[in-house]
Amino acid sequence: MKLLRRPFIWCATTYFAEGFPYSLVRQISSVYFKDLHASLPAIGMTSLYGLPWTLKFLWAPYLDRYGTKRKWILILEGILCIAILGFAAMSETALALQGGALLFMLIAFGAATHDIAIDGYYLEALDPKGQARFVGYRVMAYRLALIAGAGGIITLSHFFGWGAAMGTAALVLLCLLVYHAFFLPVAERETLAIRGLLSERGGRWAAGMGLAGLLLVAAFILCRQWAPLAAALAPMERLGRILSPAGWISLVLFIVLLVLLALRNRIRERFLDSDSFYANAFLTFLDQKRIGWALAFIVLYRTGESLLSAMTAPFLLDLGINKAQYGILSGTFGILFSILGALAGGACIARYSLSKTIWPFTLAQNLTNLVYMAMAYHYRHIFLPGGGAREVSLLFVGSVHCFDQFAGGLGTAVFSYYLMRCCRPEFKASHFAIVSGIMSVGGIVFGVSSGFLAARVGYWRFFGLSFIASIPGMYLIRFIPFLKDDLKE
């Protein structure tokens, strides 16, 4: 029984349970609506299902204040099981389209809140060394969950229908719930009972707003089926091609944090005698030493990688790699090497500390851009007017791609651990929700420009510029807080 309580098991099961519902919503919803012959504009609006993950920082403080993270995990997994099972039953009825639009949003809100609880539990249950050691298990389990959702559940739906597929998904989560109920260790003491949440005015407001948002987004997606309204919303659709709704909110969140950071002294005086747990969750985050440098680093860390990842698939396909070959490279070897990189990264951080590994791992991640630049320059004749002989070495291309994924795993491990270091002990879930909400800002802003830039300057110059874009993030390592003595607290 002790073996089943070991961190290397529950870290894997909790983060599989985190990634699996995310996959059901973000990867499967568009396939589901396509099967039901929904309009393309309606399918495009499924990007709105990403909003709960971007906005989760708004209700994260309540999970810090009420109950324990373990209780929240069990409650939310139970809710998700019921919602997905209800989805399975509803998908075989005449309400499959309307009910699906509503239930996908319900699952999204539940899954995003579930993420808050799991991230907070990980920070509560493990000391800094344990957090570093098992960060690779988090990445591995999360990516396997995405494969199980996008690959396994969609495949089941093809052969047996959506009812059986979503029923299987509910069964998977139920098995995880049973394991967590019996073997997930108790990591913290309860301060206030969860039932007290609804008696708080803020809790009632959050519940009401959540329900209103659920109905509004579901109705919006369904209304895209109505042709006159679809035409009226066309400008918004074109705007959405530049940034997703979740992307815009991440960008706005970052700007708001910068304003609050500039005004934090006035805000601190305003709430000096306040006992508001909710306000203090945000103030304590902004009041940390050199937090401005940390925010800049979080935003800029993935700029080079975001530019590269946006153009990797088009580049390899333009080289002459066919879709089947690319699928094997990316879906099999790529994922394997990214998991190995994350596991190796976590082990090295635990052994040598964050301060000694953050620079070499970040450099390794960004050197991939130069490797792609060299490969693009080597094959530059293929992209000249009139083309050229497409004699491309699959071994060479595969080696570069695997190195890219392994180095990306190292970077993911060190970045994930750094995000944990930005969280104060009393507000772990709240602070992690904030940093995870803004970490994609740099990728959003730079990623949307990747196609235009690559088309204008060509692939090999583009990859060189993407490395240059990564330099500010690497330079900021000199100034960021939360690095020294990180495993000696």
- Length of the chain as a residue count: 489
- As its CATH architecture, domain 3-235 has Up-down Bundle (1.20)
pLDDT given for residue 58 in this prediction = 84
Please tell me which residue, 486 or 134, carries the higher pLDDT value.
Answer: 134
Question: Helix, strand or coil for residue 353?
Answer: coil
Domain boundaries, given as residue ranges, for the chain? 3-235, 285-478
Range of lowest pLDDT (216-225, 334-343, 349-358): 216-225
Instruction: Produce one character per residue of 171-201: b if its CB has 16 or more CB atoms within 10 Å, e if not.
Output: ebbbebbebbeebbeeeeeeeeebeebeebe
Angle between helix axes 428-438 and 291-300 (nearest 10 degrees) is 50
Average pLDDT along the chain: 83
pLDDT given for residue 487 in this prediction = 42
Residue 192 DSSP code: B
Using one digit for the tens of pLDDT, what is the confidence trace for 387-411? 555 678 888 999 999 999 999 999 9
What's the rounded Cα separation, in Å, for the pair 130 and 136?
11
User: Which percentage of the chain shows pLDDT scores above 70?
Assistant: 82
Using one digit for the tens of pLDDT, what is the confidence trace for 295-311? 999 989 988 988 888 88
pLDDT given for residue 228 in this prediction = 46
Please tell me which residue, 216 or 75, carries the higher pLDDT value.
Answer: 75
Using one digit for the tens of pLDDT, what is the confidence trace for 92-108? 888 888 888 889 988 99
- Give the pLDDT mean for 337-350: 92
Q: Is the pLDDT of residue 337 over 90?
A: yes
Please tell me which residue, 121 or 282, carries the higher pLDDT value.
Answer: 121
**Computed over its alpha carbons, how large is the radius of gyration of the chain?**
23
pLDDT bracket for residue 364 (50, 70, 90)? very high
What's the rounded Cα separation, in Å, for the pair 2 and 463?
49
Backbone angles phi, psi at 192, to 5 degrees: -125, 140
Please tell me which residue, 247 or 180, carries the higher pLDDT value.
Answer: 180
Cα 466-480-261 angle, rounded to 5 deg: 100
Using one digit for the tens of pLDDT, what is the confidence trace for 457-485? 889 999 999 999 999 999 999 999 988 75
- Give the pLDDT mean for 272-277: 65
- Give the pLDDT mean for 410-417: 93
- Residue in this structure with the two tokens 């494969």, named with its chain if needed: 147
Which tokens go with 155?
Answer: 């495949």
pLDDT bracket for residue 125 (50, 70, 90)? very high
Looking at the domain that runs over 285-478, which CATH code has it been given?
1.20.1250.20
Q: Return the C-alpha torsion angle 175, 177, 182, 184, nearest 10.
A: 120
pLDDT given for residue 223 in this prediction = 54
Full-model pTM: 0.83
Within this chain, domains 3-235 and 285-478 share the same CATH topology: yes
Q: Is the pLDDT of residue 230 over 60?
A: no
